[in-house]
Structure 1
Amino acid sequence: MAPFDSTLHLRRDPYRFVGKTCAKIGSDAFKSRLMLEPTVFLSGVEAARFFYDTTVFKRHGAAPGFLKKTL
Protein backbone atom coordinates (compact mmCIF):
# COMPACT_ATOMS: atom_id res chain seq x y z
CA MET A 1 0.00 0.00 0.00
CA ALA A 2 1.27 3.47 -0.88
CA PRO A 3 1.72 5.99 1.93
CA PHE A 4 -1.05 8.55 2.51
CA ASP A 5 1.40 11.39 1.83
CA SER A 6 4.60 10.63 -0.07
CA THR A 7 6.43 13.93 0.43
CA LEU A 8 8.93 12.71 3.02
CA HIS A 9 9.39 9.32 1.32
CA LEU A 10 10.16 11.01 -2.00
CA ARG A 11 12.55 13.43 -0.34
CA ARG A 12 14.45 10.61 1.40
CA ASP A 13 14.84 8.51 -1.76
CA PRO A 14 14.04 10.71 -4.79
CA TYR A 15 15.44 8.40 -7.46
CA ARG A 16 14.03 5.07 -6.29
CA PHE A 17 10.87 5.85 -4.33
CA VAL A 18 8.37 5.55 -7.19
CA GLY A 19 9.92 2.41 -8.69
CA LYS A 20 10.25 0.71 -5.32
CA THR A 21 6.68 1.54 -4.34
CA CYS A 22 5.32 0.32 -7.70
CA ALA A 23 7.25 -2.94 -7.33
CA LYS A 24 6.00 -3.36 -3.75
CA ILE A 25 2.34 -3.00 -4.72
CA GLY A 26 2.71 -4.82 -8.07
CA SER A 27 1.53 -1.95 -10.29
CA ASP A 28 2.97 0.67 -12.65
CA ALA A 29 0.93 3.42 -10.96
CA PHE A 30 -0.33 4.43 -7.54
CA LYS A 31 -2.20 7.29 -5.92
CA SER A 32 -0.83 9.17 -2.96
CA ARG A 33 -0.37 12.78 -1.96
CA LEU A 34 2.52 15.15 -2.46
CA MET A 35 2.50 18.03 0.00
CA LEU A 36 -1.06 16.88 0.81
CA GLU A 37 -2.18 17.37 -2.83
CA PRO A 38 -3.63 14.30 -4.60
CA THR A 39 -0.97 12.89 -6.94
CA VAL A 40 -0.69 9.94 -9.32
CA PHE A 41 2.77 8.39 -9.54
CA LEU A 42 3.67 6.45 -12.70
CA SER A 43 6.55 4.15 -13.59
CA GLY A 44 7.69 2.31 -16.72
CA VAL A 45 8.12 2.82 -20.44
CA GLU A 46 4.45 3.50 -21.16
CA ALA A 47 4.35 6.05 -18.34
CA ALA A 48 7.34 7.87 -19.87
CA ARG A 49 5.67 7.92 -23.30
CA PHE A 50 2.48 9.25 -21.72
CA PHE A 51 4.35 11.91 -19.72
CA TYR A 52 6.31 13.21 -22.71
CA ASP A 53 3.33 13.17 -25.10
CA THR A 54 2.84 16.85 -25.96
CA THR A 55 -0.82 16.25 -26.86
CA VAL A 56 -1.58 15.20 -23.28
CA PHE A 57 0.25 17.73 -21.09
CA LYS A 58 0.53 21.49 -21.42
CA ARG A 59 4.01 22.63 -20.41
CA HIS A 60 3.90 26.27 -21.52
CA GLY A 61 3.57 28.40 -18.40
CA ALA A 62 3.86 25.42 -16.07
CA ALA A 63 7.08 26.57 -14.38
CA PRO A 64 7.19 29.88 -12.54
CA GLY A 65 9.49 32.58 -13.93
CA PHE A 66 11.96 32.51 -11.04
CA LEU A 67 12.49 28.79 -11.58
CA LYS A 68 13.04 29.16 -15.33
CA LYS A 69 15.80 31.69 -14.67
CA THR A 70 17.79 29.03 -12.79
CA LEU A 71 17.69 26.55 -15.68
Structure 2
Amino acid sequence: MKEAPKDKNFDHTLKLLKEGYYFIINRREALNTNIFQTKLIGKKMYCLSGRKQAELFYDNELFKRQGAAPSRVNKTLFGEGVYKD
Protein backbone atom coordinates (compact mmCIF):
# COMPACT_ATOMS: atom_id res chain seq x y z
CA MET A 1 0.00 0.00 0.00
CA LYS A 2 1.30 3.45 -0.94
CA GLU A 3 1.95 5.81 1.97
CA ALA A 4 -0.07 9.05 2.10
CA PRO A 5 1.87 12.26 1.37
CA LYS A 6 2.87 14.23 4.46
CA ASP A 7 2.09 17.84 5.16
CA LYS A 8 5.55 19.12 6.14
CA ASN A 9 6.43 21.00 9.37
CA PHE A 10 5.95 19.85 12.95
CA ASP A 11 2.34 20.80 13.70
CA HIS A 12 -0.49 22.50 11.82
CA THR A 13 -2.96 23.22 14.63
CA LEU A 14 -2.66 27.01 14.30
CA LYS A 15 -3.02 26.82 10.51
CA LEU A 16 -6.18 24.73 10.92
CA LEU A 17 -7.63 27.32 13.31
CA LYS A 18 -6.72 30.14 10.92
CA GLU A 19 -7.88 28.48 7.67
CA GLY A 20 -10.86 26.57 9.04
CA TYR A 21 -12.79 24.68 6.35
CA TYR A 22 -10.14 25.52 3.74
CA PHE A 23 -7.34 23.76 5.65
CA ILE A 24 -7.94 20.41 3.92
CA ILE A 25 -8.77 21.98 0.55
CA ASN A 26 -5.55 24.04 0.57
CA ARG A 27 -3.34 21.08 1.38
CA ARG A 28 -5.16 18.75 -0.98
CA GLU A 29 -4.39 21.17 -3.81
CA ALA A 30 -0.80 21.84 -2.70
CA LEU A 31 0.00 18.12 -2.32
CA ASN A 32 -2.12 17.08 -5.34
CA THR A 33 -3.79 14.26 -3.41
CA ASN A 34 -7.10 13.34 -1.74
CA ILE A 35 -5.39 11.74 1.27
CA PHE A 36 -2.55 13.26 3.28
CA GLN A 37 -0.94 13.02 6.70
CA THR A 38 -0.48 15.99 9.03
CA LYS A 39 -0.06 16.71 12.74
CA LEU A 40 -2.67 18.46 14.86
CA ILE A 41 -2.12 19.07 18.57
CA GLY A 42 1.05 16.97 18.19
CA LYS A 43 -0.83 13.88 16.96
CA LYS A 44 -0.60 12.28 13.55
CA MET A 45 -3.82 12.73 11.55
CA TYR A 46 -4.99 11.68 8.12
CA CYS A 47 -7.19 14.00 6.08
CA LEU A 48 -9.46 12.57 3.39
CA SER A 49 -11.36 14.20 0.56
CA GLY A 50 -13.34 12.81 -2.36
CA ARG A 51 -16.05 10.26 -3.10
CA LYS A 52 -13.95 7.09 -2.66
CA GLN A 53 -12.41 8.46 0.52
CA ALA A 54 -15.86 9.27 1.92
CA GLU A 55 -16.97 5.69 1.23
CA LEU A 56 -13.86 4.46 3.05
CA PHE A 57 -14.49 6.80 6.01
CA TYR A 58 -18.13 5.70 6.40
CA ASP A 59 -17.30 1.98 6.25
CA ASN A 60 -18.33 0.73 9.72
CA GLU A 61 -16.03 -2.27 9.35
CA LEU A 62 -13.00 0.04 9.21
CA PHE A 63 -13.93 2.86 11.63
CA LYS A 64 -15.34 2.66 15.15
CA ARG A 65 -17.79 5.46 15.90
CA GLN A 66 -19.52 4.22 19.06
CA GLY A 67 -18.20 6.35 21.93
CA ALA A 68 -15.84 8.30 19.65
CA ALA A 69 -17.42 11.70 20.35
CA PRO A 70 -18.19 13.11 23.80
CA SER A 71 -21.87 12.74 24.79
CA ARG A 72 -22.24 16.54 24.86
CA VAL A 73 -21.34 16.66 21.15
CA ASN A 74 -23.70 13.80 20.29
CA LYS A 75 -26.58 15.48 22.13
CA THR A 76 -26.00 18.74 20.28
CA LEU A 77 -25.70 17.03 16.88
CA PHE A 78 -28.89 15.04 17.37
CA GLY A 79 -30.92 17.89 18.85
CA GLU A 80 -31.12 16.68 22.45
CA GLY A 81 -28.99 19.57 23.71
CA VAL A 82 -30.87 22.30 21.83
CA TYR A 83 -33.84 24.11 23.38
CA LYS A 84 -37.09 23.53 21.47
CA ASP A 85 -40.52 25.13 22.00
- Which band: TM-score by shorter chain? 0.7 to 0.9
Q: 1:36 aligns with which of 42, 66, 79?
A: 42
Q: Does 1:7 align with 2:13?
A: yes
Moved more, 17-26 or 1-10: 1-10
Report matched runs for 1:14-29 at 5 Å.
14-29=20-35
Q: Which has the larger radius of gyration?
A: 2
Tell me the number of residue pairs that the alignment of Structure 1 and Structure 2 aligns.
71
Aligned to 2:58: 52
Q: Structure 2-normalised TM-score?
A: 0.70
Aligned to 1:65: 71
List 4+ stretches of structure 1 deviating above 3 A. none
Tell me the distance in 2 between the aligned counterparts of 1:30 and 1:4. Answer: 14
Q: Structure 1 unaligned segments of length 5 or more: list them.
A: none
Measure how far apart 1:8 and its partner are. 1.2
Instruction: Give the CA RMSD over aligned residues.
Output: 1.7
Tell me the distance in 2 between the aligned counterparts of 1:66 and 1:20. Answer: 30
Q: Structure 2 unaligned segments of length 5 or more: list them.
A: 1-5, 78-85
Amino acid at match of 1:48: A
